[in-house]
Copies of this chain bind each other. A is one copy, B any other.
Amino acid sequence: MIPGPHPHVIVVGGGFAGLWATRALSRDHVRITLVDRSNHHLFQPLLYQVATAGLSAPDIAAPLRHILRRQDNVEVRLGEVSGIDASARCVHLADGDVLHYDHLVLASGATHAYFGHDAWAPHAPGLKSLDDAIDIRRRVLMAFERAEAADDPAERASWLSFAVVGGGPTGVELAGTLAEIARHTLKDEFRRIDPSEARVRLVEAGPRVLSSFPESLSAKAHRQLGKLGVEVATGRAVEAIDAAGYVIGGERVPARTVLWAAGVAASPLGAMLDAPRDRAGRVQVEADLSVPGRPEVFVAGDLASVQQDGKSVPGVAPAAKQMGAHVARAIRARLAGRPTPAFRYRDMGNLATIGRMAAVVDVHGLRLSGLLAWWFWLCVHVMFLIGFRNRLIVLINWVWAYWSYQRHARIILGRPRAP
């Protein structure tokens, strides 16, 4: 650790934005404290694979301490931020500790939001953390077990009815993979039910799935989902969700397993800054990603609301990495007494996977769908996974899953979380 005189940078959040900011400051004369509630960096783009039993939790996560072990100017602190006092320049942790900073990088990301319907949360879990993923995996696997044990046909059908609310990339991935599990993975494993009779519905309130893609790719994704066995309903919002099902267009649909991929809200830490925020709670930052009136406080990643060319910078991993790296440059400029540069998002394209051998890709006007897009998606994701070992294991798991239709992590762990 570098002793006292160096300026102290506190980075809150070890996701893409926070970790990239931290690593970009590795040669600067600062001392950094990286605070996170989890002990690991999570490769969030593959989280749906843990939720659907294709990968195990350690396949897509690496301990933050391990990633940063050779970066001497960083200290990793496992802890939860309970308050930020921007006037006094300090961060309060839930265990009572108070950390003072010269520069603060807030990169605590997003959480799922139920648009005022918090009562739906226990019945329609969202997917943001590894614990969420293992909870969803348990629910999905248990649903088939319950269906097998049920004597009443209506009860059985409700256990074999799955719904995913929200037709963005996560919703599409979950629905496509659930259909694959029902149709292929569980083949021959049950004696009383036929898992392939399971119904997987994807409900999107907007007019089309994958609305961040060009319309032609949305239409292709819609068709590919249909081929995989997913029933897609667009233009209709869910009106109610409870333990037995949901209501749409005034009609009740029995479904014991409803997954929530419809809305994200910014991390509540954004509200501690006394800064302007947009409707989703994201902090509206200056051009250099600092908070208005607080040049020593930066916000990066999903928590930052950044407008560029009349559009919002999307909440995707490449944007978070770019913001993280930018904040490091801004801090460096400020320490050197230079003006801070403005952030500029470079759009690297847009990918979404749909299921077995199906994906859509939109990269600088190149539009792909189907098998080719899927290979492209696979290569990009394996390439970006942190750490050689993870990449190799993930690749082997995928090759195996591809050949055998098997998903190796079909293990029910723990008890259901209390609602």
Contacts and interface: CB of A to CB of B under 8 A. Distances in A.
B78 A189 contact: no
Contact of A63 (B95, B134, B410): B410
A88 interface: no
A381 interface: no
Contacts of A112: none
9 contacts: A39-B410, A56-B59, A69-B187, A78-B148, A97-B149, A134-B413, A389-B406, A393-B393, A393-B397
Contact of A191 (B1, B188, B192): B1
A39 B53 CA distance: 13
Closest 3 CB pairs of A and B: A58-B409, A65-B189, A56-B56
Given A66-B406, A69-B188, A149-B77, A61 B389 contact: no
Contact of A411 (B63, B189, B414): B63
Contact of A78 (B56, B149, B408, B414): B149
A28 interface: no
Q: Among A40, A58, A186, which residue has the most Cβ atoms of chain B within 10 A? A: A58
Interface in A381-419: 389-390, 392-393, 396-397, 400, 404, 406, 408-414
Contacts of A412: 38-40
Interface in A68-82: 69-70, 75-79
Contacts of A75: 191-192
Interface string A201-215: 000000000000000
Contacts of A411: 39-40, 57-58, 61, 63, 130
A55 to B, nearest CB: 9
A400 B145 CA distance: 36
A113 interface: no
B393 A70 contact: no
Contacts of A410: 39-40, 58, 63, 66
Contacts of A413: 57, 130-131, 134
